[in-house]
Amino acid sequence: MNKTAAAKVSKKTVSVDDNPLMVRSVEKALKVLDVFVRCGHSLSLTALAAELGVDKSTAQRFSHTLERLGYLKRNPATKHFDLGIKVLDLGYGFLHANTLLNRAMPYLIHLSRETEETINITMRDGAEIVFVSRFMSRHLFNTDVTIGTRMPVYCTAPGIAMLSKLPRAEAISLLEQCDRRKITENTTWEMEALEAKLDVSGSRGYATAFEEFYHDDLSISAPIFDAGLPLAAVTVSVSRVRFTPQEAEARFSSLVVAAARSISNSTPQIPISRG
């Protein structure tokens, strides 16, 4: 599955509520950036207005402001807009200051060296997981996944690992928010089967996803707790070419669980520089 197909499966929308503390102009400006993230390509002013559901004049004011601030750039030849390089500052700020990631780093490095496989940290955002740290393996089999990649919780090992430690009603509600479908022939997508998977994952302390989103991907994941809540997950991903599902689970599940437990029990550290 390519990035475009994955985006269709895991399309993020921004909800609007009636909270009197909401600053609508800020909300609208961030929706402009969200459109570019979701579309993944440059847009004309007309196309941007259509995506936002506003008139062209309103889209022009927002795009001009964001361009002046460096968050959008405008191609002088095509007159199309795209994300500006300053957007990266937002992501860098998150990665640099996040205490959980800083706590996790020594254990991720150790797990990467011990397994020589791909190691990921993901966090949950609603009914999606987001990749926030990734140690690549020399046996890399999938280059589509990068920091910031989003996937649905229902067909991913970290998603099920985190949901299995939530109250059941909350987990079911999140599964119902997903656009559940059969992505590969191995995808678990029907609610009854997903509930059974939550039971198994919750009891053993880790979850598996064997070629449920990507072919050739065998993933084993354990939840990371922060303040008693399953806020993230550590995952080992290996190739189906090199391991059977049974071999992968037997070899890596205990290592993943141990790493997740160590991160959960670690003391917050002063943020470390990654520059």
Is 161 within 8 Å of 223 (Cβ atoms)? yes
Is 129 within 8 Å of 123 (Cβ atoms)? yes
Q: What pLDDT shows up at residue 204? A: 97
Q: What pLDDT shows up at residue 150? A: 93
3-state secondary structure (DSSP) of residue 37? helix
Structural domains of the chain in order of their starting residue, each with its CATH number: 3-11+21-85 (1.10.10.10), 90-265 (3.30.450.40)
Please tell me the pTM assigned to this model: 0.81
Q: What pLDDT shows up at residue 11? A: 43
Tokens 């089999």 belong to residue = 141
Per-residue three-class SS string for 81-139 = EEECCCHHHHHHHHHHHCHHHHHHHHHHHHHHHHHCCEEEEEEEECCEEEEEEEECCCC
Backbone angles phi, psi at 249, to 5 degrees: -65, -45
The pLDDT tens digits of the residues spanning 134-192 come to 998 877 655 678 889 999 999 999 999 999 999 999 999 999 999 999 999 999 999 99
Q: What pLDDT shows up at residue 253? A: 98
98-116 in b/e form (b: 16+ CB < 10 A) is bebbbbbbebbeebbeebe
Structure tokens at 77: 């030849």
23: left (phi over 0), alpha (psi -120 to 50) or beta: beta
Question: If we measure between CA atoms, which residue out of 118, 128, 131 comes closest to residue 155?
Answer: 128
State which residues of the chain have pLDDT below 70: 1-17, 140-143, 267-275
